[in-house]
Amino acid sequence: MARRFDIRRQTGFTTIAMIVFFALYLPIAVLVVFAFNAGDSLSVWEGFSLHWFEKALDNSAVIDASLRSLQIAGVAAVVATIAATMAALATTRTEPYPGLTFKYAFINQPLMIPEIVTAVALLIFFSRVKIWTGYDGLAYLIVAHTAFCVPFAYLPIRARLESMDLTLERAAADLYATPWNAFRYVTLPLLWPGILAGFMLAFVISLDDVVITNFVKSGGQDTLPTYMLGQMRRAITPEMNAISAVFLLISIAIVTVFFFVNRKRA
């Protein structure tokens, strides 16, 4: 009997995999290591020190940009996840009908469009709104990030819904549960891992965004990525490494919490 194809058994798979992981993670490792460099060089090790972390914590511009990034990412991720959940329910918990595939493609269209195109379109639209309303606050960045993050949250939520068995939801309906109670007590608990995955993905995408933020933000509204980009155009110091290392730690913490929550539910 023919043996099933397994890519892990192919010649050179382990070597190629190791090379890929090495290329992916070596630059990140170097970045983290030089965040602890006592000197201001990014290539010459001059001893261990927490100087650059202390300097970043004492930099009010870094603190303001970090808090602004977390605020925008948090609000945008929550709104995007709620919208994505409703969209996923509307496109999965229904009988197929003409136009359903178009709606699915429409929701995911921001993934296909180059980000620079989305940024320019939002810049033109919001510039007119600013003139009409006179408002110049963070709401524009929150709306822009929310719109961009919806498809990222939608995909894991929809995938979770498509893999869920409808038996329990139908049983709840047979037992005279209202649609809201069936959703609250049956669908939502089963869907929760997908919602968490969608929220986490939307939060990280928003926190990391540079292009759209650069086009939409007004003066004094730098997020941490745009602040770092501006600083790197002037001079690159290990302070940028220290900031990146902290946000890398935050990302790892988010993924770790998500892993243990999913493991506990399983």
Average pLDDT of the residues in 231-238: 77
Please give the pLDDT value at position 154: 92
Cβ-based neighbours of 245, under 8 Å, separated by 6 or more: 31, 32, 35, 53
- State the chain's mean pLDDT as an integer: 85
pLDDT digits (tens, 9 = 90+) for 176-212: 788 888 888 888 888 888 898 889 889 988 988 889 9
Percent of the chain with pLDDT over 90: 18
Average pLDDT of the residues in 108-122: 87
pLDDT level of residue 263 (50, 70, 90 thresholds): low
Q: Which domains are assigned to the chain?
A: 49-265 (1.10.3720.10)
Average pLDDT of the residues in 78-95: 89
Confidence check: pLDDT of 264 > 60: no
Q: What is the pTM of this model?
A: 0.83
Percent of the chain with pLDDT over 70: 95
Helices and strands in the chain: count of H runs, count of E runs? 13, 0
Average pLDDT of the residues in 23-47: 85
Contact between 121 and 235 under an 8 Å Cβ cutoff? The reply is no
Average pLDDT of the residues in 115-136: 89
Burial 57-78 (b: 16+ CB within 10 A, else e): eebeebebbbebbbebbebbbe
Please give the pLDDT value at position 266: 54
Place of tokens 């745009």: 226
pLDDT digits (tens, 9 = 90+) for 139-190: 999 999 999 899 999 988 998 888 887 777 778 877 878 888 888 888 888 8
Place of tokens 């965004």: 209
